[in-house]
Structure 1
Amino acid sequence: MYSLEINFLKDREIRPVAAGAGRAAAPVGDRTPLYLGLAAAIAALGLVGGYFAFLQYQIQQLTARNQQLDADVAALTAQLADIETTQQQIELVRLENEAFANVFNEIRPWSALLQELRDRTPARVQITTVNQTAGTTPTDDPEAEPLPAGGLSITGVACSFNDINDFMLTLKQSPLLDSTTVLISQAEKREELLDPEVDGACPGSPPNTPDFLVDFTIDANLTTTPATQLLEVLDRQGAVGLATRIRALRDSGVIEGQ
């Protein structure tokens, strides 16, 4: 076989390479956007840093405020404790004053009671003894506590049963006694006639007419009305000292009363 060889290099024109020939460098563009982006990033970082610093400042302020509030709460708690202690002391004094006032309100001076009985005793009735009792409790409540004011047991003689009834009705009108408890607990006619020459005669009886005396006992509870509402009665029956003290206590506000 035959081979054909052709040399093209001999026919190529050799051209000199021009200076600066080759890949052209990329032209330098405008860097303003780069600077703007960098400035925006720096500004954003500055804002974040400033906001963080502001938050830290706010946290410090709130922490200080919280500590101040805690101190205020502690001070108020101490003041409330002092106020509660003072209120307890005031309540104790009030209770003591109330107990003191109750003592005066429950006092029933015997001088006033005896004078009240003398004023209300009819002419045909004579009282022999007056005893203080614990008072009578309601029959429907046997477990009731004893009355603080107590009661009286009046023993005497009368010219008749009617005179005893009149005396009982008169005692029911006394402001120093509980009218609902004034009762005749015992009445018994004596067997012996009253001798006018020795014992005298009952007032209002016909001359030379002997009478049978009647022994009786009347029980009554003292009134539970406060003494502050009985000042006029106490004055009238001679208990001026007690009435004066009660008025002084009432005027000073220690006790209440009309």
Structure 2
Amino acid sequence: MAFTQPHSNEALSTADAIRCRITGAYDEKYGPDGYYFEDLLGVDRDLFEIAYKPGKWTLLHRFTLSHLWEQWNYYRKKSDEEFIKDAYRLIFHYRTPVSIRAHPDLSAHKDYLFEQLLQPMKQIAHEVFCILFSDKELMRAFSIKVSEAIADACPSEYPDYLEATGIMKRASFWPTWLREALFYRENGRCAKCSSSLTGVFDSTLKPQVDHIVPISNGGTTDPTNLQYLCEPCNKKKGNRSNEAGGFIYVPWEYSHSKLSRIRID
């Protein structure tokens, strides 16, 4: 697996905002900004292209980039020197090539910098994905909202991607990088029953990729809607449930009884 530098403060704060948008807590924490989930997701051909088969640029990347674009665009319109200062900070942090040149006026300077922010925003979107992807319950909530957003989409409008109204065609090719990502996230275990899928303890227990929200319920084949299950759990779940596995990686357990004996003066 690849390792990178610690996430930027911009990515961490954006991840919290995206979590709030998915869970419906955004307005309460950040204040209303007039955008609904569907506005930022955008239901168009590009969305279905992403949702139809697994890709490294996911629907969560797309949603986060849209959120960032709207936030920075609003900042550009409402601020001058502060926007320029923060735009350069982000551009330099992500080492985006930019030419520092004279502009005819302040507005042109801001427009130029806003264009240069696209690449840093894409990098932040990927960082946010890396932060949130491990939370399968959040991915389940995200996938349900996606299914609601595409519920009225018609096959006549998107014939390459839709089997019926709001129902995606099924793609069943799982790239190696996706299997490795899911295996790593589930810590080598079934997301439902926690049985080892390494083959060390039981060579007959085969891992299977499962749609958290089934295709028949409006789910997609985007990585955000996928998890690793053992074959028995996958067959039992079938297309009857939107349930996501609840097991998470815990490196060690601590004893409550021992902690209760610690004196705090």
**Greater share of residues in strand:** 1
| Greater RCO (Cα-Cα under 8 Å, separation 6 or more) | 2
TM-score by length of 2: 0.26
Question: Which structure has the greater CA radius of gyration?
Answer: 1
